[in-house]
Amino acid sequence: MKAFIFPGQGAQTVGMGKALAEAYPAARAVFDEVDEALGEKLSDLIWNGPIEDLTLTANAQPALMATSLAALRALESQGVKITDAAFVAGHSLGEYSALAAVGSLSIADTARLLRIRGRAMQEAVPVGMGAMAALLGMDFATAAQVAADAAQGEVCQAANDNDPSQVVISGHKAAVERAVALAKERGGKRAMLLPVSAPFHCALMQPAAEAMAKALAEVTFRAPAVPVVANVRAEAVSDPETLRALLIEQVTGSVRWRESVLWMAGQGVSEFWEIGAGKALSGMVKRISREAATRNFGLPEDVQALSA
């Protein structure tokens, strides 16, 4: 049994998806559709940079979705169907890619939503006020306790439960710095601040959640062709209105990726196909479920290897 999984922010690189667009007309059509939806040549930024502009949250989010959907269209041109997957899931913004992949959202609506989401998340907290940090060698329960103990009246919470030894925390900068020091005292292997522009997936993102509630209310959600394993539930959801509500909750809620992978494995998923840029999720999957097989599809040769 397979699951298709879609990467989140941090996977972006200049040039991603360009070879797919050149090799597969259906992949090129995705980038054209995203450009038209946004009223600008995002594809030019994706393929030519500069990386500083591509990494801006408002650009990176629709860019990564476009690359994932282009890779999926390339796979479909080789006979792969979305219904070949028992489940789909995405890491943070990757959940939007997953929803577009299964037809819950149109690609154009998804691109516009991610542009709004990226801007709203960036603007929710003044620059320099928030931070995120990775705590390595520490399980989720311990990391969550470290975050809580470091808060001291500020916001500091576990944001991403990525795999058994990597938890990302988010919140006020001073509180996150306290948590980094505390994690080292409590036996963490490593703890380091991350080069991010805002403290995602914590209570400080409430203004962004409100902006997304308004934006999501204005788009059509359809029943997904394949159940979506939602970040904040770590289980499959198929009801369109529930999926809409969970995307709002996701802005301030934890990304329960480790639990999501374990849930899918528990349902019989033995193969995870990472569709889009990078291989970060595949690495996490292998650390979560050692017996799971992973494949990556971000380049034409990845797609061509299927028929071989």
Residues marked active site are found at 92, 201
- Tokens (6 digits) for 149: 């103990």
Nearest CA among 92, 22, 11 for reference residue 54: 11
Amino acid at 99: L
Backbone angles phi, psi at 268, to 5 degrees: 110, 5
Which secondary-structure segment (H or E) carries 162? strand 156-163
**Could you tell me if 63 and 107 are in contact, meaning their C-beta atoms sit under 8 angstroms apart?**
no
In angstroms, the CA 30 to CA 59 distance is: 16
Residue 2 to residue 142: CA distance in whole angstroms: 31
Q: How many CB atoms lie within 10 A of CB 152?
A: 11
**d(C-alpha 283, C-alpha 37), whole Å:** 33
Q: Which residues contact 10 (CB under 8 A, 6 or more apart)?
A: 278, 280
* Residue 114 CB partners (closer than 8 Å, separation 6+): 61, 62, 65, 93, 96
Tokens 């929803």 belong to residue:
99
State which H helix or E strand residue 132 sits in: strand 130-136
